[in-house]
Amino acid sequence: MDSLGGSHGHYKERNGYKVQIYLFRHGETDWNKARRLQGQSDIPLNAYGRELAHKTAEALQSVPFDKAFSSPLSRAKETAQIILGKRNIPLTTDERLLEINFGDCEGQCFDTAKQNPNHPLHHFFCAPQSYLPPEGGETFHGAINRGNAFLQEQILPLEGCCETILIVAHGAFNRCILNAISNTPLEDFWKTALPNCAASILSLHHGKFTIETESKVYYGTPVNGRP
């Protein structure tokens, strides 16, 4: 997988700042609960998803976010708005933070695809290195490339002027970013659980992204960590 990072544990020193990036997955939706593939379908948070976001917001109320970004899909945008609370900073949406597009297969059940070797999404779950997207879908490398473009164009220029950044996106897309930073091969794409409303905390140092913490939740028992 294409690498975006460096070694773990680096912190930003320029101008006295330490940059931390809280990369969140959105809260739970009804399709998460039903184990249906959402992709770029605009499925809203359910009541429990909002509860998770509010608990997360309470735990992070002292974090001084300087900038905030989210996917334009409502489940990510609302999660970001809840976490930001009354902070007086704008939320910028960016289409490059959208979930992977699954084309004609959006809305289908994870378990059906995993159990049927002939299903067009079987390799997505069971052999990511061999995955070819269905009609209208997107490759892993397509999502990795737009994630990299977002980081290079939106986040890197903030080094030197921001201390803490919030990003809220999606489960598979966030794994694309994390696995690229850690240089994890596609066959191990699903090795890390990434529950709803989980934060992966990144640092930025001299233009390199590193992972400090993966899959941190602020609400108790993690939900929907893997498909």
133-162 pLDDT per residue, tens: 999 999 999 999 999 999 999 999 999 999
Segment 72-79 shows an average pLDDT of 98
Among 10, 26, 119, 205, which one carries the catalytic annotation?
A: 26
- Those residues with Cβ within 8 angstroms of residue 43's Cβ, 6 or more apart along the chain or in another chain: 29, 30, 31, 73, 74, 75
C-beta of residue 73 within 8 angstroms of C-beta of residue 45: no
> Is 214 labeled as catalytic in the residue annotation?
no
DSSP state at residue 85: T
The length of the chain is: 227
Among 28, 99, 106, 138, which one carries the catalytic annotation?
A: 99
pLDDT tens track for 211-224: 999 999 999 999 99
Q: Report d(CA 201, CA 223) in Å as an integer.
A: 19
Segment 36-59 shows an average pLDDT of 98
Nearest residue to 89 (alpha-carbon basis) of 102, 73, 105, 70? 70
pTM summary value: 0.93
Segment 79-108 shows an average pLDDT of 98
pLDDT tens track for 12-32: 344 446 799 999 999 999 999
Q: What is the dihedral of CA 102, 105, 110, 111, to 10 degrees?
A: -150
Residue 206 φ/ψ region, left for φ over 0, alpha for ψ in the -120 to 50 degree band, beta for the rest: left
**Taking the CB of residue 225, how many other CB atoms lie within 10 A of it?**
16
> Is 99 labeled as catalytic in the residue annotation?
yes
Please tell me the predicted confidence (pLDDT) of residue 17: 64
Nearest residue to 9 (alpha-carbon basis) of 215, 162, 201? 201
Please tell me the predicted confidence (pLDDT) of residue 83: 98
pLDDT mean across residues, the chain:
93
